[in-house]
Amino acid sequence: MERLQKILAKAGISSRRKAEDLIREGSVTINGKVAKIGDKATMGEDAIKVNGKLLQKLEAPVYILFHKPKGVLSTMSDPENRPTLSEFLTKFKMRLFPIGRLDFNSEGLLLLTNDGQFAEDLQKQSDLLRVYQVKVRGHLTKEEMSRLSRGGRMGPRHQQIKPFSVRLAKDLTNKSMLEIAFQGAGAVDLKTYLEAKGFLVERIVRTAIGHLVLSELPAGQYRILTESQVKALIRQPELGLRRLKEGEKDQQAQPLPAAEIEAAAEAAKTREGIAAQTYKVVKSPRERTGGRPTRPDRSFGPRSSERGDRPFRNTRKTYGSESGPTPGGPMDKKRSPRPFTKKFSRPGSPKPRPSGEFGAPRSSTPRRPSRPRKPFSR
């Protein structure tokens, strides 16, 4: 005997959580009685009905390896009508669901099945390897590679994330292709992890789960797996580790063709040229002149040698005299009156003073004497 929600999940009616909701709503009956949470039954012996329909024999399990394209949700339905996996799996009439998920902008290998028990066992597997290829901007140094492999804590719960292995798969002109492997079935937000480490991510592709490899399967296509292939993910998790090590050895032992060597040399020259243009060595004024820097001539007119004799500094131009400036400057007491210039007049404005009054001496009225001070006394 098995729990009722487990039987419904195996029959492809719904997931276990949705099966529990159906039981709470009273939509499921066992031998004519409304089922409750915790009830058990035997498929083929007990009459189990969902919304009045009798469950027949269980469907044959199906296992699918799917290449998820970019911009597709890892679900079979979406209330906002965004692209989902069901648009690529229209030939299958049974209920399918993905094992795990990939982000909306990520792509790569995704497993789908109608076997709920297998999906649950696979998600609990702690030795399962998942391999990703990540394209980042720039070229990584040894220090950056070691910082990336050390891992860290991410998310609001400060979950510890540490890659199983990190290696440089390919060095491009201005970018780098990394191969990052994680062990375990826990969800990892790889893009957030890399951005927290200071890397600009352009593409994320999951290339392998255990010993199952995406290989050359085009995006949006699928491949049907056998039961022995998927059961090996649980029974023989070391196959994925062996495949990962063999891939590293093949890449180290395989010599590069001459075309790739020439392309790498040209890319290195291009990077050196870009670096030389970006980081220009600026010489100091002392280095440019070969000695002490000379002070630039800041005069806007002719030089002092070409100006001739300069006029007397303290001369002051007087108004009304025909002979021009008189030496003596501000100490000269002979000042001629300023000529009167008539300006426009407004009604009610004060009349201008005549020219004769300008510069006239003050009134000769004697000043009132001040009051004598009293002698100081204590």
Name the nearest CA neighbour of 240 among 187, 184, 194, 191: 184
The upper half-sphere exposure of residue 152, i.e. CA atoms within 13 Å in the direction of its Cβ, equals 15
- Whether residue 83 is found in the same domain as residue 34: no
Within-domain flag for 329? no
Contact 221, 253 (CB under 8 A): no
- Whether residue 26 is found in the same domain as residue 102: no
Here the CATH number for the domain that contains residue 116 is 3.30.2350.10
- Whether residue 45 is found in the same domain as residue 72: no
- Whether residue 78 is found in the same domain as residue 226: yes
What pLDDT is recorded for position 73?
93
Of the candidates 21, 46, 78, 103, the residue annotated as catalytic is 103
What pLDDT is recorded for position 116?
78
- Whether residue 67 is found in the same domain as residue 151: yes
What pLDDT is recorded for position 208?
93
Quick check: helix, strand or coil at residue 169?
strand
Structural domain boundaries, residue 154? 63-253
Predicted TM-score of the model (pTM): 0.59
Indicate the DSSP class of residue 76: S
Name the nearest CA neighbour of 328 among 314, 317, 338: 314
297 in active site: no
Indicate if the pLDDT at residue 349 is higher than 70: no
Within-domain flag for 295? no
- Whether residue 111 is found in the same domain as residue 41: no
Last residue of a domain, one of 253, 271, 294: 253
- pLDDT-derived band at 130, boundaries 50, 70, 90: very high
Within-domain flag for 370? no
- Whether residue 163 is found in the same domain as residue 122: yes
Here the CATH number for the domain that contains residue 14 is 3.10.290.10
The mean of the pLDDT values for the chain is 75
**Tally of domains in the chain:** 2
What pLDDT is recorded for position 290?
60
Within-domain flag for 123? yes
| β-sheet bridge partners, residue 99 | 111
